[in-house]
Amino acid sequence: MARRTAEPRRLGACYALTVPGLEHVAAQEIEETLSAEIKRVAAGLIVFRPPEISRDLLSLRTVEDVFLLLWGTDRLTYRAEDLDLIRRWTAREPDWPEALRLLQKIRPRPKGRPTVHLVTQMRGEHGYRRADAAKAFAKGLAGKLPETWWLVDENADYEIWLTIDGSSAVCGLRLSDRTMRHREYKQEHLPASLRPVVAAAMVRLARIPYHGSLLDPMCGTGTILAERLSVQPRAFVLGGDLDYTALLAALANLKHVGKAFLARWDARRLPIRDACIDRIACNPPFGIQLGDPFEIADLYRSIVREMDRVLVPDGKAVLLVSDVSALEAAAKLVRWKRQDRLRIRLLGQPSYITVWSKA
């Protein structure tokens, strides 16, 4: 029988976590922006080797967290013997002094005694509990961290994560902090506001020409527009919403990233002339927010017709919806061609990012 080993032993590989369904968009961003080699892509996880461990890792927009990989495996057995493997791999696989040196390149040593928090996540049905895995993980770490480091339950300077998903597990030092996931620009939130990584993925999927315009006709708190401006602060972006509260939130968020043109309008009758917008990215209200499925079909028909009117002839639209058949029926009426469809889970329900071309 093959010896069960955790891979890799050579430090310098990383992994990133994202919303399940977005991993291929994220892998592409990692490859393009960091010139990294992609090693493995699984649900919500990308393992990669960047040319170096640097703060460039924190500029990724379609992932929520980045880690230095200490060990990884896809050979867990689901049985209690995994606990011994977790303990042994944590104790033996990483070159701990080198791992801490790489971590401190990105997260410099704080003043005073550094604090550290251990995080154990577990998905799937295993013959042991998450608490057992956490205990095995902590045992493996015994004697590995500097004696001056202090274990705490929250707000730690450093975090070491073990993420178990079925027969796979990754263990790593967290290089990112909460600002990667939550974004500094996002000061104002509303219940329906989008997770920034999803908005970033939509902007990437829109493949906006360098000088191209981007419209979000139902912009809510402005997350999609903010993601575009974060990458290109001088880009031409415009948005609007029926709701004043949402518009005020968008104004407050967008002022941190660049200049956006915002207006109060009804997306079914946009005050925009025909054929002048290069790209649209938008997440209209989900059916659940309106309550009535007939209403959503009506709304999608009206907004898609209006989007079609304002898009340039080779324009594209990236739309995030839950009721994908209502959207597809609306797109059929204006003869849009579907270029891509990604299934993700948002607010506990399946949702779809769809990419359409007008041509």
> Which residues lie near ligand SAM (CB under 6 A)?
190, 192-194, 218-221, 223-224, 241-243, 246, 266-268, 283-285
Give the distance, in angstroms, between the CA of residue 37 and the centroid of all CA atoms in the same chain.
Answer: 19
Residue 192 or 248 having the CB closest to ligand SAM: 192
Residue 169 or 257 having the CB closest to ligand SAM: 257
CA distance 346 to 151: 33
What are the φ/ψ torsions at residue 57 (nearest 5 degrees)? Answer: -60, -30
Cβ-closest position to ligand SAM: 220
Residue 103 or 254 having the CB closest to ligand SAM: 254
Residue 100 or 320 having the CB closest to ligand SAM: 320
Minimum separation from the CB atom of position 235 to ligand SAM (A): 17
Distances (CA, A) of 141 to 132, 134, 150, 151, 317: 14, 11, 13, 11, 49
Minimum separation from the CB atom of position 253 to ligand SAM (A): 9
Minimum separation from the CB atom of position 203 to ligand SAM (A): 12
CA distance 250 to 255: 8
Q: 10 CB contacts (<8 Å, ≥6 apart)?
A: none
Residue 157 or 306 having the CB closest to ligand SAM: 306
Minimum separation from the CB atom of position 284 to ligand SAM (A): 6
Handedness of CA 295, 300, 306, 307 (dihedral sign): positive
Nearest to 49 by CA among 59, 35, 62: 35
CB 248 within 8 A of CB 187: no
Minimum separation from the CB atom of position 294 to ligand SAM (A): 15
Minimum separation from the CB atom of position 325 to ligand SAM (A): 18
Residue 47 or 320 having the CB closest to ligand SAM: 320
Q: How crowded is residue 252: how many other Cβ atoms within 10 Å of its Cβ?
A: 15
Q: How crowded is residue 339: how many other Cβ atoms within 10 Å of its Cβ?
A: 13
- Quick one: tokens of 33? 């922006």
